[in-house]
Amino acid sequence: MKKEDDGSISFVISDLFDFDYWYENGNDDQINKAIKYVNNNAYRQQKANKLEPYILYIPIKFTTKELEKILD
């Protein structure tokens, strides 16, 4: 995280886009079942070399006014 001279802050979120298998739980609601289905489908595609992992790189900057609003 970096504080700029104008009072703003900036930072970068980086994450490896790589799927792990998510086990289903008998207590999962419909939304969690759907999310796990999509995730596990991507996991299977990744294991079959049909989906390549990549890095998400997201630069974020908050202006001084945005920070004041967030912290109020």
CB 4 within 8 A of CB 52: no
Q: What is the pLDDT of residues 13-38, one digit of tens each?
A: 998 878 999 998 889 999 999 999 99
Please say if the pLDDT value at position 57 is more than 80.
yes
Output the pLDDT for position 51.
85
Mean pLDDT for the stretch of residues 30-47: 94
Supply the mean pLDDT for the chain.
Answer: 92
H or E segment and range at residue 46: helix 30-47
CA distances (Å), origin 62, targets 20, 26, 27, 29, 48: 32, 42, 39, 36, 40
C-alpha span between 32 and 18 (Å, rounded): 19
- Arithmetic mean of pLDDT, 43-68: 91
Provide the 8-state DSSP code for 27: T
